[in-house]
Amino acid sequence: MPNILDSLWNSMALFLSALFFHGMALRSIREKKPAWFQIKFANEIINYALGVYYGLLGVYFIIRGLPGMDSGIYTDMLLNILIVLHLFSSAGPATIALILIVTGKLLLGDALFANFIYVFLIIGFHFICMEVAKLRLSSVQKVVLVKLTAIPLMLFYLHQKIHLAYTLDSLPVWILYFAVSFFITFIIISASYYIDTSNKLIYDLQQSTILDPLTGLTNFRHFEKAFEAAFNYATLKKSNLSVIIIDIDYFKRVNDTYGHLAGNGVLSTFSQMLLKISFPPNTVISRIGGEEFAIILPNIAVSETEHLAEKIRRKVEKIDVPIVASGSIITISAGIANYDGSNYSSANDLLHAADQALYNAKRNGRNQVHIRETEPVI
């Protein structure tokens, strides 16, 4: 029995180490590539990579449980892998992990008949986890339920693997094993919950520092960093970089006439409209002032930028706004400046050029797009 308990604790330590590296990797990705978690395809790739990661961990546990490698029962962790993936990810990654585990069990196991029975049982356990994950129960209730359903599988496994007899004399050993197994599973689930929750809280905190709470767009602080980085990259690659600055026409009049709540409604509605437009990859949309917005567009020509700005201007005239009942129509003015890799010496110069173009659009009657003519650097 001491050997069984030792292997349980050792396998738990390995599992917790795997959870730690998993958490650190996701945190790093969230910091460096936050958009990946908002793009469906990229998010699925991350999830399936987790399935492969834990599937390979399961294969490692299978190897450690082979005769001559370890006298214990590392396979208990295979069930915990499926539990964690079903509760904290989804059925897809859990299925990937299951396929790797089943393959490893059939290829590496020493008793073919017993392995086929084990594979049949663990596949059944996988589908049980899938259904339990859908139930409206607390995480604790779900864990208890799936662990109870795992008892038949473990009864079979322990009897086959370490020849634990089905006798009354062995009953205390069975009870002690299942008690320790339940305890270890709850430790692993608690660690998974802590890592998952802390990562999401850190991400939300980071997002709160770069997002404008009213519009959901990035704020001026983030815009400055993103714009400087985009300009440096365009300079390095000698590529195009366009920036559009948008101002909602006569917005002060909206606030004075209809109140700040109506003004906030206009800002929110306009922002949601922007988010629904299909922009090129790596576009950054920010609110940089009260009613002023900026769009960073890497790697596109000035003609395409003008087309997008005109598209936005036309859409604004047609959108429903909180003050539409009064017959008011919201319009915008936009200024565009384009960097071709050499015509501006700094990001500030490019931004100033776009701001001048916006000023010209407003001076010429508003509700129009103006392009700042390229001025070569002297």
The one-letter amino acid at 36: W
Closest of 53, 72, 47 to residue 62, by C-alpha? 72
Q: Please state, in angstroms and as integers, the Cα–Cα distance from residue 111 to each residue in 93, 100, 146, 160, following that order.
A: 28, 18, 26, 10
Contact between 371 and 334 (Cβ < 8 Å): no
Residue 162, CA distances (Å) to 23, 53, 71, 157, 190 in order: 34, 28, 8, 8, 29
**Interstrand relation of 332-339 and 369-371 (parallel, antiparallel or unpaired):** parallel
User: Which residue carries 């793009």 as its tokens?
Assistant: 39
Gyration radius from the chain CA atoms: 30
> Is the Cβ–Cβ distance between 336 and 371 less than 8 Å?
yes
H helices, E strands: number in the chain = 12, 5
Contacts of 52 (CB under 8 A, 6+ apart): 96, 97, 100
Question: 128 and 146 in contact (C-beta within 8 Å)?
Answer: yes
Spot the catalytic one: 31, 228, 291, 375. Answer: 291
Beta-carbon count within 10 A of 28 CB: 10
Residue 291 is among the residues annotated as catalytic for this protein: yes
Catalytic residues: 291
